[in-house]
Amino acid sequence: MSGPSSAVAPSLLRHPDFARLWTAETVSQLGTQVSALAIPFVAIEILRASTFEVALLNVVEFLPFLLIGLPAGVWVDRLRRRPVMIAGDVGRAAALATIPLAYLAGVLTVVQLYAVGFVVGILTVFFDIAYQSYLPSVVARDQLQEGNAKLEISRAGAQVVGPGLAGILIGVLRAPIAVALDALSFLGSALFLVLIRRPEPPPRPHDPDGGPRPGMRREIAEGLRYVVGHPYLRSIAACTATLNLFGTMANAVLLVYVVREMGMTASAVGLAFSIGATGALLGAFLANRISSWLGVGPTIVVFAAIAGPALLPLALAPVGTPTPVLVGFVAIFGFFSGLSAVVYNVAQVSLRQAITPTRMQGRMNATMRWFVWGTIPIGGVLGGVIGSVLGVRATMIIGIAGATFAVLPVLFSPVRGIRGMPAPADDGPSAGDGPA
């Protein structure tokens, strides 16, 4: 099954169950942006953590994606997705609520921040995989791009509004109390998920003839074979992983470059980032229209090629460039980076959802995420090492070059020829053995 079908797909604005899913994601994304700033502030201002201790906050939140991402995909395929999402929201709310409670009791420590970050990371792994796998059960196949575009509007809008809102809340309420609002946002998200009325089909047994279900290792291997053996998924994974590797390499030294070498102030950097963030918001609004105009495959190819070169003017700017010009360069990079990332993601995620059978959705999404996010910490380490040896400007140029050539896997693959959304894959027991 690929989800509900309709002869004429109306706007999702009139789709009550999608509206509830969209509202849940919007509330959750906005709260997450608050915590993304508030938790580091707890460590820095209240617990007086060292630079290394603060850096570890990101590591403990990201580790679960590498450690349990593939097994989580198997579990998501074995269970109904909506209960997994509700449990993930409630669990994250409970974990985050311990921070303000411990602060008010005077027992908050950095170790607790690590523990909360790790637990939240684990629950986020399950939620994200289930959420991407659940959308095809809510909307029709020809509505996937519109659905993903609207969900990206929430993500992009939260990135524009969230940091400013977080700053106000931290200033008025203190950082630990601001975290409590994120906990409430997860409860609000869970409530809207509970209100979804469309029944979710039960997960299909692996063997309809009654054979025993294979073990975890075999099902993980099946998901890996499905992605690696599928010409669309394989090329998208290679492109995205390469973009993340080299993009992270450049971004790892971006702040050091603009502040220490180019002399930008924190306020100038913040202004540039805020202006640049509008690109992601615009991309979320236009993604569906662009894909309809260019075609799904060409959209993936074109927007995979945009982000890398956008950083080149900043990387080549001479020392002494006036601050307004630097603000413009950073804003241009942020604008085109955000625009291209959102349009690319809406197209490629929608394509993945459309071509993958229901019983493989969890493992497909988990495997793709494991591949494409696994390069992020590698890129960060490489950026730091190369920046120390060759300098930050050279590191940015290397990152730009690598990100520019990341388009090659999709350019020279069958993906570039896809115009409309492909027909859904066979959902039978052989669907996981290779491409549809």
Same domain assignment for residues 177 and 252? no
Could you tell me if residue 320 is left (phi over 0), alpha (psi between -120 and 50 degrees) or otherwise beta?
A: left
The total of structural domains in the chain comes to: 2
Same domain assignment for residues 187 and 227? no
The one-letter amino acid code at 364 reads M
Question: Comparing C-alpha atoms, which of 254, 273, 230 is closest to residue 393?
Answer: 254
| Domain-located, residue 343 | yes
* pTM (2 d.p.): 0.71
Longest CA pairwise span in the chain (Å): 72
Same domain assignment for residues 37 and 162? yes
| Domain-located, residue 328 | yes
- SS3 letters for 367-432? HHHHHHHHHHHHHHHHHHHHHHHHCHHHHHHHHHHHHHHCCHHHHCCHHHHCCCCCCCCCCCCCHH
| Domain-located, residue 137 | yes
State residue 235's pLDDT score.
96
Domain encompassing residue 308: 222-420
Report the C-alpha gap between 59 and 294 in whole angstroms.
38
Token pair in block for residue 370: 């494991």
State residue 203's pLDDT score.
72
Report the C-alpha gap between 364 and 352 in whole angstroms.
8
> Mind giving me the DSSP string for 318-372?
PTT--HHHHHHHHHHHHHHHHHHHHHHHHHHHHHHHHHS-GGGHHHHHHHHHHHH
Residue 240 belongs to a domain with what CATH number?
1.20.1250.20
State residue 406's pLDDT score.
94
Same domain assignment for residues 267 and 189? no
Report the C-alpha gap between 120 and 391 in whole angstroms.
36
Same domain assignment for residues 187 and 228? no
Same domain assignment for residues 240 and 136? no
Let me know how long the chain is: 436
> Mind giving me the DSSP string for 266-323?
HHHHHHHHHHHTHHHHHHHHHHHHHHHHH-HHHHHHHHHTTTGGGGHHHHHPPTT--H
Tens-level pLDDT at each residue, the chain (436 residues):
344 444 445 678 788 888 899 899 888 888 887 787 788 778 877 888 775 676 577 667 777 878 888 888 888 888 888 999 999 999 999 999 999 999 999 999 999 999 998 999 899 889 888 887 888 888 887 788 788 888 878 877 777 777 667 777 877 888 888 899 889 999 999 999 999 988 877 776 655 455 566 677 888 888 899 999 999 999 999 999 999 999 888 877 787 788 778 887 766 776 787 788 888 889 888 988 999 899 999 999 999 999 788 888 888 888 888 889 988 988 898 899 889 998 999 899 889 988 888 778 888 888 998 888 878 778 877 888 888 888 889 989 999 999 999 999 999 999 999 988 776 555 444 333 333 3
Same domain assignment for residues 181 and 248? no
| Domain-located, residue 232 | yes
Token pair in block for residue 282: 């615009």
| Domain-located, residue 396 | yes
Name the H helices within 42-138.
Answer: 51-67, 69-78, 81-105, 110-138
Same domain assignment for residues 83 and 22? yes
State residue 36's pLDDT score.
77
State residue 360's pLDDT score.
84
The one-letter amino acid code at 149 reads A
| Domain-located, residue 263 | yes
State residue 435's pLDDT score.
32
Same domain assignment for residues 189 and 228? no
| Domain-located, residue 217 | no
State residue 212's pLDDT score.
63
Q: Give 119's DSSP letter.
A: H
Same domain assignment for residues 185 and 226? no
| Domain-located, residue 210 | no
* 3-class state of residue 258 by DSSP: helix
Token pair in block for residue 89: 């929201």
Same domain assignment for residues 169 and 259? no
Same domain assignment for residues 122 and 231? no
